Structure 1
Amino acid sequence: MLPDMTTVVVVEDDDKIAAPLVRTLERDGYSVERFAEGLPAVERVTAGDGTVDLLLLDLGLPDIDGIEVCRAVRDGGYAGGIIILTARDGELDRVVGLDQGADDYLAKPFGLAELQARTRALLRRSSYNVTHVPAPAAGTASAGHPVVHEPDGRSFAVDVVARRIWVGDTELPATTKEFDVLALLDSRRGAVVARDTLINQVWDENWFGSTKTLDTTVGRLRQKLEDVGAPVRITTVRGVGFRLEDVRDA
């Protein structure tokens, strides 16, 4: 059972689905907040207090589309886990949701046991928001990988224990999947990581969604690294995969 400080926001307008879902999550020890519409959920998740750990999001909402909710909370700075709950049959909706920042999805009808398992797995990955850990000291990184330094003093480090990314004294915000992709690339810095390896380890070895989800995630990471002037960049090795390398070596 997880501590009651773990908060799950459920956005589902169908009472027959929401009620057993909320009961199950509460029995597992989560603090659950349920919304029947998307706009109030966006306001809650992006409130800035950092208390929401996981968002379970239905796509078919009465006020706005669930994909718009996903986009809005990510744009609002929410970096926790998002699982889409959808009754839509088309793969396109699932792919669009993942491209907009969702981490996983479940097609309705789904088993509560599967939902519980995916919830536990995603919360383990997104738990870096729970504990504050100071930026690594100069020249060190708790992840065990040397910190990259540039002559002008910028540094870059991925702390896999605290699940935090540092560029100098600035923490780089990242979604669960963005962090996992960057951490895997950083663990093999300078070497090419195959696309299949990234998909299998960050998503799932049985993943059957669009591989464009990986490209979208890498694209967002590139922009974030560039925006803060990080001394590393992600390069594409066409037909193979991606490589994280120092800017001076790129």
Structure 2
Amino acid sequence: MNTQSTGAPTVLIVDDEESIRKLVDFAMQRSGFATELMADGATAFERITSDPRSLDIVILDVMLPGMDGFEICRRLRQMNLLLPIILLTARDEEIDRVLGLEIGADDYVTKPFSPRELAARVKAVMRRLSTQSEARVSGEEDAEEPLCVGDITLNLVRHEVQVRGKVVELTPTEFDLLRFFMEHRDRVLTRDQLLDQVWGYSAVRDTRIVDVHVSHLRDKIEPSSKKPTYIRTVRGIGYKFLSPQ
């Protein structure tokens, strides 16, 4: 996790509306983050790719001049840059939210939004990353032995997942979702439970965010995502991660 000289994690705020940038900047600084502000997509993309390790999270508006937020997110994931991304969208349309999640965003917030809610979303992502980082630094292998289910191995210390002997790149949210599934294998988990335990907040009950991330995870770990071996849907309730028979 990056920190600037202030010791605070750094959030890059990208929005072409000055009023929104100032609002988010105020909310983030009040919550203890260092901030960088940018107004167009192309400049933001160059900033991120030139020095991704100096940033901890990106708050990215969807509608940007030069390069929109969807395109930035898509390119970063294609480059296997797993920097957490929260999208801001002005339209409360499911197709926008789903598209953002499908191309690799960790979360989204719809305008108009509560600065307090946005800060809570950012903190939830950062808590997950902090936990992972502390585990890697401590190197407490005995306390954090790899999780193994079937041909999937998850190593928290190295933040690495291997499927059928090959390393699979997961976003931070996908990693935490898989870890929670593996730690609670063979149990039915509701979408609300997953929102609480993986995303870290309970006020927002848009369970579609869970479904899209499960779909992404299946694409990466299942032999066939259309006939999943591990993550089974429990109709009307949620999901169950199965140990192989």
TM-score (norm 1): 0.73
Other-structure match for 2:143? 142
One-letter identity of the residue aligned with 2:96: D
1:111 matched to 2:114: yes
Other-structure match for 1:99? 102
Other-structure match for 1:157? 154
Other-structure match for 2:33? 30
**Structure 1 residue 129: deviation in Å?**
6.6
Task: Count matched residues.
Answer: 234
**Structure 1 residue 9: deviation in Å?**
1.0
Cα distance in 2 for partners of 1:66, 1:223 equals: 23
Other-structure match for 1:77? 80
Cα distance in 1 for partners of 2:75, 2:129 equals: 19
- Distance 1:158-1:195 versus aligned 2 partners, 3 A rule: farther
Conserved in 2, the CA contact under 8 Å of 1:84 and 1:104? yes
Please point out which of 38, 55, 59 is paired with 2:58: 55
User: What stretches of structure 2 of length at least 5 have no aligned partner?
Assistant: 224-228
Conserved in 1, the CA contact under 8 Å of 2:13 and 2:35? yes
- Distance 1:166-1:66 versus aligned 2 partners, 3 A rule: closer
- Distance 1:245-1:51 versus aligned 2 partners, 3 A rule: farther
Once the two structures are superposed, the pairs formed by residues 100-249 of structure 1 within 5 Å of their partners are: 100-127=103-130, 130=133, 133=136, 142-143=143-144, 147=148, 156-159=153-156, 164-167=159-162, 172-203=168-199, 204-209=201-206, 211=208, 213-225=209-221, 234-237=230-233, 239=235, 241-245=238-242, 249=244
Task: Kindly report the root-mean-square deviation, in angstroms, between the aligned alpha carbons of the 2 structures.
Answer: 3.7
* SS state at 1:121 partner: helix
Percent identical: 33
Cα distance in 2 for partners of 1:236, 1:97 equals: 24
**Structure 1 residue 130: deviation in Å?**
4.4
* SS state at 2:59 partner: strand
- Distance 1:4-1:200 versus aligned 2 partners, 3 A rule: closer
TM-score (norm 2): 0.74
One-letter identity of the residue aligned with 2:162: V
Cα distance in 2 for partners of 1:20, 1:206 equals: 21
Cα distance in 2 for partners of 1:104, 1:67 equals: 13
Conserved in 1, the CA contact under 8 Å of 2:154 and 2:179? no
Cα distance in 1 for partners of 2:120, 2:194 equals: 21
